[in-house]
Amino acid sequence: MFSSLIREAVDLDLKKFIRGELGFYGRLIGLLVSALFAGLLFYFGQVLLNSVLVNFKSSRNISLLAISIIVIALIIKGVLDEVLVLGKDHTSTKSFQRDESISIARVSSPQTAIAVLLATFSFAYIWTQSAQKSLISALLFSAPYFLVFIRIGRFNFKLIGKNRRYLLVEPTLVALLTAVIYSQIAQTPLLADKRAELFLMLAAIPAFLHGIYGLFCDSAEQREIISA
């Protein structure tokens, strides 16, 4: 499911970039990128799970072979979708028409934001054993989900509203900045628990700043829609 969402995001970003429909190579790029992101999601999910296990065994370590198998399986699935599903639709001699409607109520719900807050607090408390620091970290990590429900109507952000947004570029920049923060903290001569506390505080800043940027962009877009 995550791979399919990433592929849709890649296709939308590429269409915005080339300002046209995607060809074979454009769809191939989306297929490869989505498979790679799904493999990374599996890897980091296992790392996150291993970080909270009390009795950790070396057998739970994720090998490069396991990740490669997942990525290859997703690529094969994508190729089969292109050949069997999309290809069949394009070569079919019969045309069927039916009305379909998709309605997305919200990008993020209050339940989702609260769930992220509680989950982040739980993991942070396991790592730090400090309720105060865990709460601060959880508020920073969950802030982007709460900011979705806010609109700023008193300010006019014309420059931000004209910027073209890409679904993958922005989170990739956030991830790269977080990786830089992690690399710097890893080289700091501190104990492991102190490093964890420092990382939890600083790693949430890039996502929080991206949430603020998204708030300004959404508010500017909303103002344009109302003005139109």
For residue range 14-49, what is the model confidence (pLDDT) as tens digits?
A: 777 777 677 767 778 888 888 888 888 888 888 777
- The number of residues in the chain equals 228
Count CA atoms closer than 13 A to 126's CA, side-chain side.
12
Helix (H) or strand (E) holding 24: helix 24-50
Question: Is pLDDT larger for residue 222 or for residue 138?
Answer: 138
The pLDDT of residue 87: 57
Contact 200, 178 (CB under 8 A): no
Q: What is the pLDDT of residues 142-198, one digit of tens each?
A: 988 888 887 776 555 555 555 666 677 888 888 899 889 888 888 878 777 788 788
Separation CA 15–CA 28 (nearest Å) = 14
Coil, helix or strand at residue 1: coil
The pLDDT of residue 115: 92
Question: Is pLDDT larger for residue 209 or for residue 49?
Answer: 209
Is pTM beyond 0.85 here?
no
Contact 30, 7 (CB under 8 A): yes
In Å, what is the CA distance from 199 to each residue of 14, 175, 183?
34, 14, 10
Contacts of 53 (CB under 8 A, 6+ apart): 60
Query: What are the boundaries of each domain within the chain?
Result: 1-103, 106-228
Count CA atoms closer than 13 A to 143's CA, side-chain side.
18
In Å, what is the CA distance from 47 to each residue of 44, 129, 143?
5, 20, 24
Q: What is the mean pLDDT of the chain?
A: 76
The pLDDT of residue 118: 93
The pLDDT of residue 96: 47
| Mean pLDDT on 130-153 | 85
Q: If we measure between CA atoms, which residue out of 62, 190, 188, 195 comes closest to residue 127? A: 195
Separation CA 228–CA 223 (nearest Å) = 9
Q: What is the pLDDT of residues 68-123, one digit of tens each?
A: 888 898 888 888 877 776 655 544 444 445 455 544 455 677 888 899 999 999 88
Separation CA 84–CA 186 (nearest Å) = 47
